[in-house]
């Protein structure tokens, strides 16, 4: 009995020092999360790092013709969806029940503005509901929220910039150390002409720009999520850190 216990502890310690902590990451949003290739580029970039085991999660797994048959396609991008509708219909609640996550990215608001000219204040209110859902699902959820990319048609970018400005104080107001919100700027440096394939969705150049903006924030979020998981294992006596 004793030796079995010692053995299993030793095995757990060994496991914990290698690829012990399996993290789950949900890419959440609309078509700019669903029918794009920044997820493929992101997954590829992570393969050369300690985060190669991060499991992308979500109910969607469409082929996006990214010339990549290896990447983890799972995502929660829903083409055409408004943040306001997702919040009002409580859809994220079910999506996270089906696929819990440690880390989530959110790029939303484009359809609210482009399809239905919703008020920025109402989009922000929906974001608050969505963050509430994330934290109900996982009180330690690490959240990365995008200031969204510009459009290449119409006169939407003034309002998009208005939303993007509102995201900063909103995120600061909801921030917490257990469930931090990091805001990343997907607008600045993104061209409404040469980074979009159809006026809305990134082409290869836009995908790379988006991936490069998500990447440092995500790696930081993974590190924070891993710390939580290691601390939880240690608290249960399953892992001992050897300095
Ligand atoms: C939220 O807090 C974290 C530290 O826990 C910080 O890195 C981040 O910038 C804060 N977010 C905002 C929007 O200020
Ligand atoms: C992206 O699309 C724009 C037009 O939609 C084009 O001018 C540009 O060359 C494209 N770039 C890449 C890398 O696909």
Residue 112 is assigned to a structural domain of this protein: yes
Q: How many domains does the chain have?
A: 1
Dist. CA 41–CA 37, nearest whole Å: 6
**Ligand 1 centre and the CA of 182: distance in Å?**
6
Q: What is the DSSP letter of 35?
A: S
pLDDT of residue 19: 45
Dist. CA 203–CA 51, nearest whole Å: 25
pLDDT of residue 32: 98
Q: What is the mean pLDDT of each run of 10 residues along the chain (243 residues)?
A: 51 51 96 98 97 97 92 98 98 98 98 98 98 98 98 97 98 98 98 97 98 98 96 80 53
What is this structure's pTM?
0.91
CA 81 to chain centre: 16
Q: What is the DSSP letter of 190?
A: -
Q: Which of 59, 99, 94, 100 has its CA nearest to residue 76?
A: 59
Residue 1 is assigned to a structural domain of this protein: no
Q: Nearest C-alpha to atom 14 of ligand 1 is from which residue?
A: 172
User: 216 CB contacts (<8 Å, ≥6 apart)?
Assistant: none
Residue 242 is assigned to a structural domain of this protein: no
Residue 140 is assigned to a structural domain of this protein: yes
Nearest-atom index, ligand 2, CA of 199: 5
Number of neighbouring beta carbons within 10 Å of residue 102: 24
CB-CB contact of 43 with 80 (8 Å): no
CATH code where residue 160 lies: 3.40.50.1110
pLDDT of residue 14: 47
Q: Nearest C-alpha to atom 5 of ligand 2 is from which residue?
A: 197
Dist. CA 195–CA 37, nearest whole Å: 12
**Ligand 2 centre and the CA of 200: distance in Å?**
12
Q: Which domain holds residue 63?
A: 23-235
């Amino acid at each position: 009995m004793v030796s079995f216990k010692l053995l299993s502890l030793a095995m757990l310690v060994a496991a914990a020092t290698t690829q012990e902590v399996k993290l789950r990451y949900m890419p959440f949003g609309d078509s700019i999360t669903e029918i794009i290739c920044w997820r493929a580029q992101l997954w590829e970039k992570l393969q050369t790092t300690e985060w190669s085991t991060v499991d992308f999660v979500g109910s969607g797994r469409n082929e996006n013709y990214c010339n990549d048959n290896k990447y983890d396609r799972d995502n929660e991008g829903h083409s055409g969806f408004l943040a306001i509708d997702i919040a009002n219909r409580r859809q994220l609640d079910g999506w996270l029940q089906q696929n819990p996550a440690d880390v989530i990215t959110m790029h939303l608001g484009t359809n609210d503005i482009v399809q239905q000219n919703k008020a920025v204040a109402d989009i922000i209110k929906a974001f608050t509901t969505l963050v509430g859902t994330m934290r109900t699902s996982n009180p330690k959820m690490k959240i990365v929220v995008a200031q969204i990319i510009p459009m290449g048609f119409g006169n939407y970018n003034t309002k998009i910039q208005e939303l993007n400005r509102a995201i900063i104080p909103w995120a600061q107001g909801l921030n917490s150390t257990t469930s931090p919100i990091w805001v990343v700027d997907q607008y600045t440096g993104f061209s409404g002409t040469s980074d979009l394939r159809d006026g809305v969705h990134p082409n290869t150049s836009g995908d790379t720009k988006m991936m490069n903006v998500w990447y440092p924030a995500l790696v930081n979020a993974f590190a924070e999520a891993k710390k939580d998981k290691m601390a939880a294992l240690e608290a249960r006596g399953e892992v001992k850190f050897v300095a």
